Amino acid sequence: MPQLITSSTSDPAVAPARVGYLWVNTAAGSVWLSVGTAAASDWRKMAEGPVANFSGAGSPEGVVAASPGATYTDTSVDPPPFWTKYSGTGNTGWRQLIG
């Protein structure tokens, strides 16, 4: 299975392998999403750190309040679905990326 999330201490500098991959810069706390595969410019910054990371049982939508760029792992399922907060500052605006 290909790795869908890459973590590094730098921003992405190579073309993504596939659309929909995530890159997390652990030093800056930024999260990037791949939207194409032609060039390094196909990475789009979703959030600038520090990024909050949450986990719990079930979907975060309507439950977990966070700022855009936050991540959430649903621990009630194996393999665990991965979510990111796309919009708003309340408990809505979550999108499931992996699951």
Give the DSSP letter string of the chain: ----EEEESS---S--SSTT-EEEETTTTEEEEE--SSSGGGEEEEE-SSPPEEEESS--TTT----TT-EEEETTSSSPPEEEE-S-SSS--EEEEE-
Q: How far apart are CA 81 and CA 98, in angstroms?
A: 5
Mean per-residue pLDDT for 3-18? 87
Please tell me which residue, 41 or 71, carries the higher pLDDT value: 41
What pLDDT sits at residue 1?
43
Residue 78 CA neighbour count, 13 Å, CB half = 0
Instruction: Give the whole-angstrom CA distance, residue 4 versus residue 26.
Output: 16
What pLDDT is attached to residue 39? 95
pLDDT at 60 over 70: yes
